Amino acid sequence: MLADWVKETTSTTGTGATITLTGAVASFVRFQDFVPVGATVTVSIKDGNNRELVECTLATSTTLTRTRGISKLESGTPSKNHATFLSLTNSAEVGIALAAEMAGGSASGLGSSTFGNMIAKRVASAAPMLGSTSTFAMSANTLFLSPYRLDAGMTLAALTAYITSGAAGGNLAIGVWAMAVDGSPGTLLGSTTGVSTTSTGIVRGTVSQSNVHLSPGWYWVGLLSDSTPTIAVISGAVLSPIGSHNSDSRLALSRLFSSVTYASGLPSPPTSLSTTMSNSGGVLHILLESV
């Protein structure tokens, strides 16, 4: 399974299978916040200049058990399917990752996985595997949209974003739109409203529509608030359904935006859109959760 923003420290030493987790790295969350005990995860370990990708089981809320070595870089020597786990030196960082063997060559970097503590539910992320995690301060009553590639079909249950700086008393709406033939946002397919912006961290809302089935393909995802929260984005990245970064094309961009009053609801379709063409804008980091 996959989950976003998970990274912890560990004081474990040696090559043993058990890794004791000692708390989230700054600006990240703990394994137990997203991963149910007993779940299997692919873990990336950074210990000084050494690295390891390893399959693990979350044995308890604070311990991982290494079960299968995927790849390792130790003392400058790379290896795959290694039998001896990386020797830890009590100062490693441990996080959830996607190994090359699992990626299947997907340029969009979208994954399907269990999310939160909901076993057998699948989540797709709008964050591509290029660029780096950054933040974006929303403007009130402005709709922001990013293109979104879904690699596997799903029936939509909920939508999730990440607030890095809250706005007391505010509300957030999250939506998914069809992509029209010309690449513009079309019909609103699924949405959730009234998500509080007061607290930081992961925010989630159940979609109000029933039986929203999304086939593989391109969509738009967006956020609208009546306040000014700061949210997570992926900076240094654009998404393009046609592989073109033409400055005249909506299909190669980070975001679209439009003036929309929160109280009027998410539009279907959005109109009067302006474009953030620069890759400095950042792709909205939104998750789609399936039933």
Q: How many CB atoms lie within 10 A of CB 109?
A: 19
Place of tokens 């393909």: 217
The percent of residues in the chain predicted with pLDDT above 90, rounded, is: 42
Asked if residue 282 lies in contact with residue 235, where contact means CB atoms within 8 angstroms, the answer is yes
Least confident of 2-6, 16-20, 45-49, 221-225: 2-6
* pLDDT > 50? residue 243: no
Asked if residue 55 lies in contact with residue 43, where contact means CB atoms within 8 angstroms, the answer is yes
Least confident of 82-96, 184-198, 265-279: 265-279
pLDDT tens profile 31-59: 998 888 888 888 999 999 999 999 888 99
Residue type, 184: S
What's the pLDDT at 233?
81
| pLDDT level of residue 254 (50, 70, 90 thresholds) | low
Ramachandran angles phi, psi of 212, nearest 5°:
-90, 100
pLDDT tens profile 196-221: 999 998 898 999 998 888 887 788 89
What's the pLDDT at 276?
59
What's the pLDDT at 210?
85
Ramachandran angles phi, psi of 101, nearest 5°:
-65, -20
* pLDDT > 60? residue 237: no
What does the DSSP assignment read for the chain?
A: ---TTBEEEE--EES-SEEEEEEEPTT-B-HHHH--TT-EEEEEEEETTEEEEEEEEEEETTEEEEEEEEEEEETTEEEES-SSPPPEES-EEEEE---HHHHTT-TT------BTTBTT--EEE---SSSEEEEEEPPTTEEEEEEEEE-S-EEEEEEEEEEEE--TT-EEEEEEEEEPTTSSEEEEEEEEEEEE-SS-EEEEEE-SSSSEEE-SEEEEEEEEESS--EEEEEES--B-TTS---TT-TTSBSEEEEE--GGG---SS--S-EEE-STTS-EE--EEEE-
* pLDDT > 50? residue 98: yes
Least confident of 110-119, 158-167, 236-245: 110-119
* pLDDT > 70? residue 67: yes
Closest CA to 238 of 111, 146, 106: 146
Q: CA–CA separation, 20 vs 281, rounded Å?
A: 38
The percent of residues in the chain predicted with pLDDT above 70, rounded, is: 77
Mean pLDDT for 165-173 is 96
Residues pairing with 73 in the sheet: 51, 78
| pLDDT level of residue 278 (50, 70, 90 thresholds) | very low
Residues pairing with 82 in the sheet: none
What's the pLDDT at 17?
95
What's the pLDDT at 198?
96
Mean pLDDT of the chain: 79
What's the pLDDT at 99?
61
